[in-house]
A = this chain, B = another copy of it.
Amino acid sequence: MSGSWELVHFPIVSDRRGNLTFIEGGSTIPFDINRVYYLYDVPGGAHRGGHAHKELHQVVIAVSGSFDIHLNDGRRQQTVTLNRSYYGLYMRNMVWRELHNFSSGACCVVLASHHYDEADYIRDLDEFLFKATGERPE
């Protein structure tokens, strides 16, 4: 995987009883899965996120419903729509992300490379842009 983020098509085991997708740490994705968290009961249209991680890598999956992720690594910005259970958005560290446009009933599952550590979060966009680019925002 190259770049700060990448959309990954995970394997699908499909039969008439439904679909199964699997992800193995250190194999399907390039990091060990130390933390899993998920967002649910999100009001339709809600907005979340607005942070970056200094070290943590993660994969974000819309297992139900859909939402958009706006991504910014200080050099490139992109908005990705996640709306299929078998796609995951792999994000390296140092990516500012905001989640928005949740569909009603959406569930967002995140697989993360590290346990929770508040010191790993960057919650201020200007601080993030300075760290990412070495330049003070105007």
Point out residues on A near B: beta carbons under 8 Å. Answer: 16-25, 27, 32-43, 46-48, 63-64, 85, 102, 105, 107, 109, 111, 115-116
Prevailing SS type, chain A contact patch? strand
Known A-B contacts A64-B64, A105-B105, A107-B107; A25 and B33 likewise in contact (beta carbons under 8 Å): yes
Number of copies of this kind of chain in the complex: 2
Known: A24-B36, A24-B115. 20 other contacts (CB 8 A): A17-B42, A17-B46, A18-B40, A18-B43, A18-B102, A21-B37, A23-B35, A23-B36, A23-B37, A24-B35, A25-B33, A25-B34, A25-B35, A36-B36, A38-B63, A63-B63, A63-B107, A64-B107, A85-B107, A105-B105
